Amino acid sequence: MRAEQPAPERTRGFGQLRSTIRDHASGRRADGAPIERVLAETADLAEREVRLGDPSVEPGLLARQVRLWSLDAYLDEPALRNAPRFY
């Protein structure tokens, strides 16, 4: 069985959300905020987006993806771009 592809408007919405999350996480890292605080802030941002946007989005799956986007942006160091990540 082939998985259903997301609707194009949903894909665009996730792309915008990913960009927002990554910008916020990298900006907060530059401000010196700890990762724990940044993860909580980005989770709140994503939750608000879901409430305002598509309520059919599975919150648990989105929360996991938001954490990954946040970690990637927060830990993004040019010198470490080719290093393996274990999360």
Collapsing DSSP to helix, strand or coil, 84 comes out as: coil
* Joined tokens for residue 48: 């608000």
Instruction: Tell me which amino acid residue 76 is.
Output: D
pLDDT per position as a tens digit, 53-80: 666 667 677 888 899 999 999 888 766 5
For residue 78, give the DSSP letter.
G
Residue pair 48/59 in contact (Cβ under 8 Å)? The answer is no
Please choose, from the candidates 24, 51, 54, 49, the residue with its C-alpha nearest in 3D space to the C-alpha of residue 39.
24
Q: Taking the model in full, what pTM does it have?
A: 0.69
Q: In this structure, how many other beta carbons lie within 10 angstroms of the beta carbon of residue 42? A: 25
For tokens 């996730």, the residue is: 14
Average pLDDT of the residues in 40-62: 77
